Amino acid sequence: MDAAEERWPLARGNAQMRAPLRRLLRRTDEDDAHRLLERIEELEERVAATAPRPVGHVLFVALADGYDILESGDDPPLPGQLLLLFDGYYRVTGTRRSPFPGDARPCLAVEPVTGS
């Protein structure tokens, strides 16, 4: 483990970060390097917090003869929640990637609720 990995666990396994941190260690004292790393982490958190969240969700609905895809602008339902769709009740059974390329909206798999 080199000095950069020892001092900053974030650099472990990240070759793109190790080299600049090694150079930084040679040119600055440890306090300066720590301040810089704290600032980087703070900026990464701010960017993540301000990233636009997708609006709406997609439902991947299991039907007797295949599947249907429904889009909604509302907040997504919770896992296990019952939904009234078409002519019956469906339960949210899980999540999956949206079937639309580049779509960041959550996609929820729903299955029909069968009689007890």
User: Both tokens of residue 39?
Assistant: 């600032």
Average pLDDT score over residue span 14-38: 70
Spell out where the chain has E strands: 57-63, 66-72, 82-85, 88-96, 107-112
Kind plus residue range of the DSSP H or E element containing 7: helix 3-7
Report whether pLDDT(67) > 90: yes
Whole-model pTM? 0.54
Amino acid identity of residue 111, one-letter, is E
Distance between CA 2 and CA 13 in Å, rounded? Answer: 11
Distance between CA 45 and CA 11 in Å, rounded? Answer: 17
User: Both tokens of residue 79?
Assistant: 């896992």
- What are the residues facing 82 on neighbouring strands? 91
- What are the residues facing 110 on neighbouring strands? 61, 92
Report whether pLDDT(8) > 60: no
Provide the domain limits for residue 100. Answer: 57-112
One domain for residues 75 and 103? yes
Considering its fold, how many domains does the chain have in total?
Answer: 2
What is the per-residue pLDDT for 53? Answer: 77
One domain for residues 32 and 64? no
pLDDT tier at 109, thresholds 50, 70, 90:
very high
pLDDT tier at 24, thresholds 50, 70, 90:
low
